[in-house]
Amino acid sequence: MDIKKIALGGGCHWCTEAVFQSLLGVEKVEQGFVSPKRELNAFSEAVIVHYNPELIPLKDLIAIHLHTHKSTSDHSFRKKYRSAIYAFTEEEKIESKTTLEELQKDFEKELITQVFRFGSFKPSEVQFHDYYFNNPTKPFCETYISPKLQLLMQKFGGLVNQEKVNTSHELT
């Protein structure tokens, strides 16, 4: 089994972590802060997704990423929540850019998501890891994360690990 990884940023890493932890073919999600290769001091919240491309291809991960954060909004928190894909190889960077171009048709507004080479990672504090699945009834989780998981199940239900999502919190 060939496990690959891609880093994704766009919103709160608690939200992003929960979305990708809910997918079939995702082996591990590391939550923290990522910076692009050429801007190593430009960290923003993100996750590193370790996945089996035979079970979930990169294109599906990118599509899910774009639909579960404000990928067309250049809001005031973009420095903290950069909409980005951080590729670990040049091939992944090219594939990610091509995928963004293909998926633009699914959005009325222009995607602002950028593709970078992965630079550096700083993990978040351990107490925040697995945040949603440890705290599904906290107000933050119910307000921000549960709606993302509902959208995930509606739009990408065949890629969701229903057992994991259903045992953590009833989303209906």
Q: What is the CATH number of the domain that holds 160?
A: 3.30.1060.10
Query: Which position has the token pair 């290769």?
Result: 37
- Domain encompassing residue 162: 4-168
Kindly report the length of the chain.
Answer: 172
Dist. CA 97–CA 80, nearest whole Å: 22
Confidence class for position 30, pLDDT limits 50, 70, 90: very high
pTM summary value: 0.92
List CB contacts of 127: < 8 A, sequence separation 6 or more.
Answer: none
* Percent of the chain whose pLDDT exceeds 90: 77
pLDDT at 79: 75
Which phi and psi (to 5°) does residue 126 adopt?
A: -55, -35
166 — pLDDT class (breaks 50, 70, 90): low
Q: How many domains does the chain have?
A: 1
Residue that is written with structure tokens 């009833």 in the block = 170
